[in-house]
Amino acid sequence: MAKLHLQILQPVQMKIDAEFDHIIVPGVEGDFGIYAGHTAFITQIRPGVLQLYNEGSIEKYSIHDGFVTVENNQVNIVCEIIEKYSEIDESRANNAKDRAEKRLKKSKGNIDFRRAEAALKRALSRLEAISKSD
Amino acid sequence: MANIRDIKVRIDSVKSTKQITNAMKMVAASKLRKSQDRILKARPYADFINTMIQTLQFKNKHSEHPLFEENPGDEKKALIVVTSDRGLCGAFNSSIIKEASNYLKENSQVDIICIGKKGDDFFKKHDYNVIKSYINIFNEMDFSISREIAFNIIELFTIKEYDKVEIVYNEFKSVIQQNIILKQILPIVPIEDEDVPLVDYLYEPDDYTIMGELGAKYINVDIWRILLESSASEQGAQMTAMEAATDNATELIATLTLFYNRARQASITKEILEISSGAEALK
């Protein structure tokens, strides 16, 4: 079967540059799977779990933002924050969650609110990732 | 002529200064390599986002996003001035400040955003309208800093506070050469690229949202690149300045050693004279 070539680009590095059979991406309008031969497509990514399947093995990443483009079996993901499950620091995520919750209570409807909300979403998706991987 | 001990003390002090400047040069060199490395790593990401924006703009000429449009109105502008946090790097900061001052002369109604302590010191002292400063960020720089800066700039721009946001910074050409660049950050002007692949993508949720997100990411990575360029230039300028200082110290030591030897010779000659004339007197 034809393979998908995946590149995950971050501002600080090229995280992944490899071939996979099947990829599941958390899009803003729902998770979707990509196989070889997918139509040309762009979507925004919501915080969630990115799953990469290759020859029976699966790699899971916690992804927080960005875009995915599919074109001619070439999949590009550009994102600022992505972590492999094993790289997530649980206590740090917990602290971030508490901090964001406190800020949310204090500020309503301004810039800080939206930032705290984004931070809370990130923390929650990290924690979710940890609880699933156990 | 100064006496032997004074010269000796001066030589020692110049020697220790030379050691310091030499060490600073080495430190700057290693930091420079790190910054250069990061610039290279950021490039594929930045290029990709730039290409995407162009592809989308080409396809959807009619769905313009506010981040790509000038705010019509009262000509109010924001200028971001990128300097360093510390000195000892030659004309690095003064040339940036000069360029920024020229800009301020030509444009009225400019608010200043300072990145780096040197610029902040200068513009606050001279009572310019500094609305925001980011200080001591270059020492431990990571991407979250540039994201915070970009977030604030976008926020100011989208509430239509400013017509245009421009930035002045040092671009890294080589260790000995830095170019001062004045460029527009907002509204976004993507770099023209000849061979943009024109792929007919399906969009989800819609091109307007995607354009907005891509625009924000573009600014994030643009600020990141500028911070890295500026940091690399600063290290380059510091290397050059410290190398010059080390060379000067070497020269100074050579001159002082000459004086020292001359003084020593003179005192020896004097002593011999005294002894021989003393011996002469005893005869």
pLDDT digits (tens, 9 = 90+) for A19-49: 999 899 998 888 889 988 888 888 889 888 8
What local confidence, expressed as pLDDT, does residue B250 receive? 95
Q: For chain B, first and last CA: distance in Å? A: 34
Q: Which of B141, B201, B221, B224 to mutate to test the interface with A (most CBs of A within 10 A)?
A: B201
Average pLDDT of the residues in A78-89: 81
Distance of alpha carbon B168 from alpha carbon A75, whole angstroms? 36
**Token pair for residue B157?**
């721009």
Confidence of residue A112 (pLDDT cuts 50, 70, 90): low
Give me the pLDDT at residue B14, please. Answer: 94
Q: Does domain A4-85 have CATH number 2.60.15.10?
A: yes
Lowest mean pLDDT among A60-64, A90-94, B117-121, B161-165: A90-94
Please give the pLDDT value at position A109.
Answer: 59
Cα separation, B45 vs B32, whole angstroms? 21
Question: Which has the closest alpha carbon to B88: B17, B165, B171, B162?
Answer: B17
Residues B24 and B242: beta-carbon distance below 8 Å: yes
Exactly one of B89, B188, B210, B245 is catalytic; which is it? B89
Q: Which residue in chain A is spatially nearest to B34 when comparing CA positions?
A: A12
Q: Where are the domains of chain A?
A: 4-85, 88-131
Nearest to B130 by CA among B191, B80, B168, B166: B80
Best of B34, B47, B48 to mutate (most A CBs within 10 Å, chain A): B48
Average pLDDT, stretch A56-61? 86
Residue B197: what pLDDT? 66
- Residues B62-118 have pLDDT tens digits of 557 778 877 776 678 889 999 998 888 888 899 999 999 998 888 888 889 999 999
A110 in B contact zone (CB under 8 Å): no
Beta partners for residue A48, in sequence order: A63
Shortest Cα distance from B221 to chain A (angstroms)? 7
The shortest CB-CB distance from A12 to any of B41, B49, B151 is to: B41
> In this predicted structure, what is the pLDDT of residue B53?
83
Helices A90-106 and A111-133, packing angle to 10 deg? 150
Interchain contact, A9 vs B209, CB within 8 Å: no
Give me the pLDDT at residue A1, please.
Answer: 67
More reliable by pLDDT, A124 or B45: B45
* pLDDT at residue number B262: 92
Say how many C-beta atoms besides its own lie within 10 A of residue B19's C-beta.
Answer: 12
Quick one: pLDDT band at residue A108, thresholds 50, 70, 90?
low
B157 at interface of A, judged by CB pairs closer than 8 A: no
**Is A28–B42 a contact, with Cβ atoms under 8 angstroms apart?**
no
A40/B203 CB distance under 8 A: no
- Per residue of chain B (283 residues), give pLDDT as tens: 568 889 999 999 999 999 999 999 999 999 999 989 998 888 888 888 888 888 877 776 555 777 887 777 667 888 999 999 888 888 889 999 999 999 888 888 888 999 999 989 998 898 888 888 898 888 888 888 888 889 888 888 888 778 888 999 998 888 888 888 898 888 887 777 666 666 777 777 777 888 888 888 889 988 999 999 999 999 999 999 999 999 999 999 999 999 999 999 999 999 999 999 999 888 8
Structure tokens at B43: 């490039």
Query: Which chain B residue has the Cα nearest residue A42?
Result: B203
Q: How many residues does chain B have?
A: 283
DSSP state of B150: H
Q: Is residue A134 scored above 70 in pLDDT?
A: no
What confidence category does residue A111 fall into, taking pLDDT thresholds of 50, 70 and 90?
low
Please report the pLDDT score of residue B30 as a whole number: 92
Which residues 68-97 in chain A show a CB within 8 A of chain B?
69, 71, 76, 78, 80
CA distance A52 to B230: 38
Q: Does the annotation count B89 as an active-site position?
A: yes
pLDDT of residue B16: 95
Domains by residue range for chain B, with CATH: 21-241 (3.40.1380.10)
**Cβ-based contacts of A80 with chain B (< 8 Å):** 143, 147, 217, 220
Chain B contact for A133, CB < 8 A? no
CATH assignment, A88-131: 1.20.5.440
